[in-house]
Structure 1
Amino acid sequence: MTYLRKLLIIGLVSMLFACTSDFEDINTNPNRTNVGDIKASGLFEPLLYNGINAWQNYTWFWNNELIQFTAFTGGGTRQEHRYFIGDQNWQSVWNTYARYTNNALHMYDLSIEQNDQSLQAIALTLKVLYMSNLTDMFGDIPYSEAFQAREGGTTEPKFDSQKEVYEQMFADLETANNLYAENPVFIKPALDGMYNGNMEQWMKFNNALYLRLLCRVSGRSEMNTAAKMTAMLNNPSKYPLFESNDDNATVQFSGSDPYRSQFANTNENGFTSSGRKLTEQLIKMTVIADDFGNQTYEDPRLAIYGKKNPNYLVNGVNAWKGTIAGCTEAEQSVADAGASWLNAAVFCRAEMPASYMDYAEVQFILAEAALKGDIAGGEAVAKQYYENAVTASIEKWATLGQFSETPVEISEENIEAFLASDLASWDNAVNKTELIANQKFLSLFWIGMEAYHEYRRTGYPELTIGDGAVFNDYILPTRFAYPNTTMATNNANAQEALTRMGGENNMKTPVWWSKQAIESGN
């Protein structure tokens, strides 16, 4: 365990933009561990476990606040829901994704030297996983010349356009897929808390990630994503995809140190009740109420996502209440009173599993593609994919219902009732594109930054920007700005990227694949 802890610091510095004194020290100090002295398998566990914990932390700290799953209205110390976000935040996010990518590349290099093809393939999958989030948060980034400084290359890499970044990520996923196809053996299955060394499932994850990224840029006709999706579906032996929740890219924690989830030591007060509450937006999308305010029906996942505040009653009955994302400081105490909490009993467990991607997301992607005509089947097939997706999402969360203070059980009948309800009915939906997007949004609860990415891609769900969201001029951040360090050390390339993206280095310039950029002609 001590060895694993030490590995957490290996490769911490990523040379994405410029050389630093710390980087020089790591690479010249003889008393520091040299990443080349260890086995590729020694990097795998820190990448997997620490990576997914960073993933969980970002969904709690960033995604949920930006996308109105939660809002920190318990005081003025955290104002992300009002878009009070600055350079320190941008730097932290930038460094995190870059660091894990750099570590994946270390593992890739070592796996080639040590003839470990399984970890070579996995390293490419993880590289794309993290680089895709880096580009989706910031826009144009270095890719083709990134991380070369550790091998004596450039310290001022060029920024590739987001189109070029996506093309290179697709190429990396194709390379990984070909490596998986050679059926390499994962030498130490016990290290793999996600798939126990099952390379077929890693291959499915690689291609599910491929499908996610194809969907992300599907609004850009020049990417020809419909043809690629069709080719993948027509050749499942070459491009296997998730077939059920058993294939979910979910890391399992034993609960023993250091194999513990991100919030294992967090109590309910620090996790939710003193600050982060569920929002009106989430409650609106998951609860049906009558004209008198009586809550007559709710999404069966809601009682697993969250917990009612016992002090909030409607007509004498304990009910769900959401706080107001982006509310003013004057509104805050009223908005916060009685607001529902995140379900700490579910999330703050040492054994709480965490997902990079689910089968439900794959089915939502295919539902959207079929409805748009990008893949075969039309509306009838789109409906089947959609209902598969909703069912899979509910079934995934149903397994966690047992950990609620009041255990939550979800039956097949409950799922059927939900699919027939006004919240989720395919047949009753006037705008089926919106229906797919809204239910996909809800299914992405607690999966990294995915709901934030999807909102910028689709424009759904329809969010209300609060009167207190003054820090970005009432504009939900369209991207994170390049950190000041980057602007100082690689200014010419960063400025070229901003010119290409058509905006300033702020949180108002849309990323290339977003609905806003496409509709504005950028």
Structure 2
Amino acid sequence: MNTLRKILAIGLVGILTACTSDFEDINTNPNRTTVGDVKASAMFEPILYNGANAWQNYTWYWNNELIQFTAFTGGGTRQEHRYFIGDQNWQSVWNLYTRYTNNILHMYDLSVEQDDQSLQAIALTLKVLYMSNLTDMFGDIPYSEAFQARDGGTTEPKFDSQKEVYEQMFKELETANNLYASNPVFIKPTMDGMYGGSMEQWRKFNNALYLRLLCRVSGRTEMNVGVKMKEIVNNLSKYPTFASNEDNASVQFSGADPYRSQFTNTNENSFTSSGRKLTEQVIKMTVLTDNFGNQTYEDPRLAIYGKKNPNYMVNGVNAWKGTIAGCTEAEQSEADQGTSWLNAAVFCRAEMPGSFMDYAEVQFILAEAALKGYVSGGESAAKQYYEKAVTASIEKWADLGQYSETPVDITEEHITEFLASDLGSWDLAANKEELIANQKYLALFWVGMEAYHEYRRTGYPELTIGRGTVFNDYILPTRFAYPNTTMATNNANAQEALTRMGGENNMKTPVWWSKQAIESGI
């Protein structure tokens, strides 16, 4: 505890995201090394815990608004759901991912000097976690020459193509997997709030992340991802991956300062009721309604994700209502009346875990892979993977149901009922690929930026773009633009990257792995 406090005090990681009202104030120079010659193990804790909080914050602040889980319709101060996003925002996102990677690489260098193979492996896994999000947000990025300024190298690194970035990330995940396989010892297991120092579970996370990134680029035939997916699935002794929710990459917070969740001191008003509300998109995907407007059935996770507005009734019964993502200011007042809220009782707890990746996501990846023939088994196997994925997601959220104002109890019968319903049934779905993507979208609720990434990859779920999204010409952002400082200090390399991506430095140029880029032949 004392070590962690000292590290936080000197700004080791350079970011504390606990104050959401000052979200943009976290910017610092990502190329400046702020740490000295400390023990590699001393860097691990703040990287892990602060990183998990940053993940939660980005879920709430960016992902939910972009992908229509929520919309800030409580005023004009936040307009991300209308795509009113500019340079300060791009700079903040760019800096967060690069700043964490910079510190992770410093931890790696120290772990090499100190012959700590456990932290070498973990550092490579975490580096890929952060850099994959950087490239998925911006497209082509510096990778092979990135962060060399730490050692007196170039301050104008070249931008690698996204294909090259992914190939390098795959190599680093392979290296990490081999390091984990050597059974290194994590020196202080109590410092690891995710896996308690278990190298076996860190290895599973590394390879689950591998599957996530293989899935991300699966639309690009030149990546030939089926070969690697088959190798992983058919050789779990070499590539162990998540086998149950016990393996979920979730940081567990004790609730004691400073091991507390991002939203510990956030009240319901500032968290959701005065602004961010659940959307029509979420409600229509989780609630069945009859011809008279009565809500006849709901996804058992919905009452954990959110809570009904007590003032909204349908035929005399309290019901779910979603606000309109991307609505105009003129539509805002009506759209907001009676809207359901995020479940602050669940999310605003000191012990609320921070999730990087879940077992459910792995099963959804394999369901899609089996359906498309990347792995063996065909539709029969795809159905089994799909049902395991949905079950795992519901069971994960079921564990959190006890914290709702009115506790939510989900049983095996509820899961069976959902898998037989019009919402979740494999057999009743005409489009199996869409079913997998839609249920994966719902399972990715509160998992970083993943739902946003997946929407651009698959085109699912079908979103309605509101009439108020004029700021990006009624186009859901396809990427974030390179910050002005990047364009000013590394212009030639950034311009080369934009030319390669086939567009301008804006939020309309698609990233290489996206459905839009593939279909347009970019």
Would the TM-score normalized by the shorter structure come out above 0.5? yes
Structure 1 counterpart of 2:222: 222
Residue 343 (structure 1) aligned with residue 353 (structure 2):
no
Structure 2 counterpart of 1:30: none
- How far the C-alpha of 1:4 sits from its partner, in A, is 1.9
Residue 10 (structure 1) aligned with residue 38 (structure 2):
no
- How far the C-alpha of 1:6 sits from its partner, in A, is 4.0
Q: Write the mapping of 1:40-439 to structure 2, written as runs, cut at 5 A.
A: 40-439=40-439
Aligned partner of 1:163: which letter?
K
Partners of 1:21 and 1:345 lie apart in 2 by 33
CA shift digits 1:484-506 (9 cap, x unpaired): 00000000000000000000000
- How far the C-alpha of 1:11 sits from its partner, in A, is 5.3
Structure 2 counterpart of 1:454: 454
Structure 1 counterpart of 2:514: 514
- How far the C-alpha of 1:35 sits from its partner, in A, is 2.2
Partners of 1:432 and 1:199 lie apart in 2 by 36
1:321 partner SS? coil
Work out whether residues 402 and 409 of structure 1, in 8 Å CA contact, stay in contact via their aligned partners in 2.
Answer: yes
Structure 2 counterpart of 1:480: 480
- How far the C-alpha of 1:3 sits from its partner, in A, is 3.8
- How far the C-alpha of 1:22 sits from its partner, in A, is 6.4
Work out whether residues 28 and 95 of structure 2, in 8 Å CA contact, stay in contact via their aligned partners in 1.
Answer: no
Partners of 2:283 and 2:483 lie apart in 1 by 35
Partners of 2:91 and 2:296 lie apart in 1 by 45
Work out whether residues 11 and 106 of structure 1, in 8 Å CA contact, stay in contact via their aligned partners in 2.
Answer: no
Structure 1 counterpart of 2:36: 35
Work out whether residues 35 and 106 of structure 1, in 8 Å CA contact, stay in contact via their aligned partners in 2.
Answer: no
Partners of 1:7 and 1:60 lie apart in 2 by 26
Work out whether residues 226 and 375 of structure 2, in 8 Å CA contact, stay in contact via their aligned partners in 1.
Answer: yes
Partners of 1:405 and 1:176 lie apart in 2 by 43
Partners of 1:390 and 1:97 lie apart in 2 by 30
CA shift digits 1:24-65 (9 cap, x unpaired): 9x66xxxxx7422x1000000011000010000000000000
Partners of 1:502 and 1:385 lie apart in 2 by 37
Partners of 2:182 and 2:400 lie apart in 1 by 36
Partners of 1:130 and 1:22 lie apart in 2 by 17
Partners of 2:345 and 2:399 lie apart in 1 by 14
Work out whether residues 11 and 35 of structure 1, in 8 Å CA contact, stay in contact via their aligned partners in 2.
Answer: no
Work out whether residues 83 and 476 of structure 1, in 8 Å CA contact, stay in contact via their aligned partners in 2.
Answer: yes
CA shift digits 1:388-445 (9 cap, x unpaired): 0000000000000000000000000000000000001000000000000000000000
Work out whether residues 207 and 241 of structure 2, in 8 Å CA contact, stay in contact via their aligned partners in 1.
Answer: yes
1:43 partner SS? helix
| 1:34–1:74 distance in 2 versus 1, CA, 3 Å | closer
Partners of 2:397 and 2:216 lie apart in 1 by 25
Partners of 1:520 and 1:259 lie apart in 2 by 47
| 1:145–1:22 distance in 2 versus 1, CA, 3 Å | closer
CA shift digits 1:301-341 (9 cap, x unpaired): 00000000000000000000000000000000000000000
Partners of 1:451 and 1:224 lie apart in 2 by 24
Work out whether residues 217 and 223 of structure 2, in 8 Å CA contact, stay in contact via their aligned partners in 1.
Answer: yes
Partners of 1:176 and 1:354 lie apart in 2 by 23
1:146 partner SS? coil
Partners of 1:91 and 1:131 lie apart in 2 by 15
Partners of 2:517 and 2:125 lie apart in 1 by 28
Partners of 1:461 and 1:23 lie apart in 2 by 35
Aligned partner of 2:377: which letter?
G
- How far the C-alpha of 1:135 sits from its partner, in A, is 0.1
| 1:143–1:409 distance in 2 versus 1, CA, 3 Å | same
- How far the C-alpha of 1:234 sits from its partner, in A, is 1.2
Partners of 1:148 and 1:86 lie apart in 2 by 28
1:292 partner SS? coil
| 1:277–1:22 distance in 2 versus 1, CA, 3 Å | closer
Structure 1 counterpart of 2:19: none
1:156 partner SS? coil
Aligned partner of 1:235: which letter?
N
Unaligned residue ranges in structure 2 (runs of 5+)? 16-26
Partners of 1:155 and 1:416 lie apart in 2 by 56
Structure 1 counterpart of 2:20: none
2:471 partner SS? coil
CA shift digits 1:270-321 (9 cap, x unpaired): 0000000000000000000001110000000000000000000000000000
- How far the C-alpha of 1:2 sits from its partner, in A, is 5.2
1:164 partner SS? helix
Partners of 2:155 and 2:411 lie apart in 1 by 56
Structure 1 residue ranges (4+ consecutive) displaced by more than 3 angstroms after TM superposition: 20-24
Residue 497 (structure 1) aligned with residue 497 (structure 2):
yes
Partners of 1:21 and 1:136 lie apart in 2 by 21
- How far the C-alpha of 1:23 sits from its partner, in A, is 7.9
Partners of 1:162 and 1:199 lie apart in 2 by 30
Work out whether residues 108 and 124 of structure 2, in 8 Å CA contact, stay in contact via their aligned partners in 1.
Answer: yes
1:35 partner SS? coil
Aligned partner of 1:257: which letter?
D
Aligned partner of 1:137: which letter?
M
* TM superposition score normalised by structure 1: 0.96
* TM superposition score normalised by structure 2: 0.96
| 1:2–1:329 distance in 2 versus 1, CA, 3 Å | farther
Partners of 2:119 and 2:218 lie apart in 1 by 30
Work out whether residues 176 and 206 of structure 1, in 8 Å CA contact, stay in contact via their aligned partners in 2.
Answer: yes
